[in-house]
Amino acid sequence: MPVTATAELSLDRGGSTPLYIQLANVLREKIERGEWKPDQKIPSENELNRMYGISRMTARQVLAQLVNEDLLFRVQGKGTFVAHRKISTRSPAYMGIREQLEHMGYQTSTRVLSSELISASAKVARSLDIAEEEPVHEIRRIRLVDNEPISLHTTWVPHRLAKELAADDLVNRQLCAILEEEYGLRMAAVHESLESTLPNPDEARLLRIRRSSPLLLLRHRITDPNGRPFEMSRILFRGDKIKLEFQYDL
């Protein structure tokens, strides 16, 4: 249902704060307090002009700013809509995604799509510093928040380092905790890469998105205090749901 233009409180034209900043704050507050709901169409530039007595150029500037903040999104020929808020998380190397989400109050769940013993491909073998075709656990999981899929995880672990991994509780326990507590594989260093990508048909189906939907692809390799690699992971995050944050102490 679109938001209709109604009488609004006027902006403070005599104050020191520019009108576009005042209007941006007003619209931002409507979104943050839930007065405007996700996917709801908001007033057009012309309607904002009538509601607040501002120029169309000012309205355009404000809407562009809120689009850049990921609070709004535009659909060509249809208008401007309230965006779904992205969940801000840090790299799984800092803290497991599930643990981060639960600390923020989200209800999470995990589904194990497959867990099997395979021969390491050349790429996996190079990353884990093992012989090609050496047995590795390949575990595919999907993470959900409020029953909506947000990420797809594929992980490889050398079988000789965690022989009973397939029998462990990969649904209710975090993989990093299992590897450390059950097999003594403690994280000491992580190498990560991040890029954008698009889903293949299977990934789109599992994440319930279109083939044109952007994804964040995070790859990481984890080594123990002796410099021995013990985990390689490929994680796909829904770009419309997740925002990864990085912090560096210099």
Query: Pick the residue with more confidence: 169 or 17?
Result: 169
**What is the phi/psi pair of residue 174, to 5°?**
-75, 140
Residue 6: predicted pLDDT: 42
Residue 159 has what pLDDT?
98
pTM: 0.70
Helix (H, G, I), strand (E, B) or coil at 190: strand
pLDDT digits (tens, 9 = 90+) for 58-99: 999 999 999 887 788 888 888 999 887 776 666 665 556 666
**CA proximity to 218, closest of 86, 85, 87, 91:** 91
Find out whether 147 and 169 touch, Cβ atoms under 8 Å: no
Residue 230 three-state SS: strand
Q: What is the CATH number of domain 87-245?
A: 3.40.1410.10
Contacts of residues 167-171 at CB distance under 8 Å and 24 or more positions apart, as own/partner, are 170/110, 170/112, 170/115, 170/139, 170/141, 171/110, 171/111, 171/112
Which tens digit of pLDDT belongs to each residue from 184-226? 999 999 999 989 999 999 999 999 999 998 999 999 999 999 9
Residue count of the chain, please give it. 250
Does residue 33 register a pLDDT over 50?
Answer: yes
Give the Å distances, CA to CA, from 230 to 20, 91, 98, 150, 157.
53, 18, 20, 25, 6
Q: What is the pLDDT of residue 87?
A: 67
Instruction: Name every residue whose Cβ is closer than 8 Å to that of residue 238 and which is 6 or more positions away in sequence.
Output: 149, 150, 151, 207, 209, 213, 215, 216
Confidence band for 5, pLDDT divided at 50, 70 and 90? very low
| Angle, CA of 166, 167 and 173, to the nearest 5° | 90
Residue ranges of the domains in the chain?
A: 19-82, 87-245
**pLDDT at res. 100:** 67
Give the pLDDT confidence score for residue 104 in this predicted structure: 65
Q: Give the tokens for residue 208.
A: 């319930």
Cβ atoms of 239 and 209 within 8 Å: the answer is no
What is residue 160's predicted lDDT score, i.e. its pLDDT?
97
CATH topology of domain 19-82: Arc Repressor Mutant, subunit A (1.10.10)
For residue 127, give the 3-state DSSP assignment. Answer: helix
Please spell the DSSP secondary structure of 29-57, one letter per residue. Answer: HHHHTTSS-TTPBPP-HHHHHHHHT--HH
pLDDT reported for residue 3? 46
pLDDT per residue as tens digits for the range 95-113: 566 666 666 666 788 999 9
Q: Which two tokens stand for residue 74?
A: 């535009």
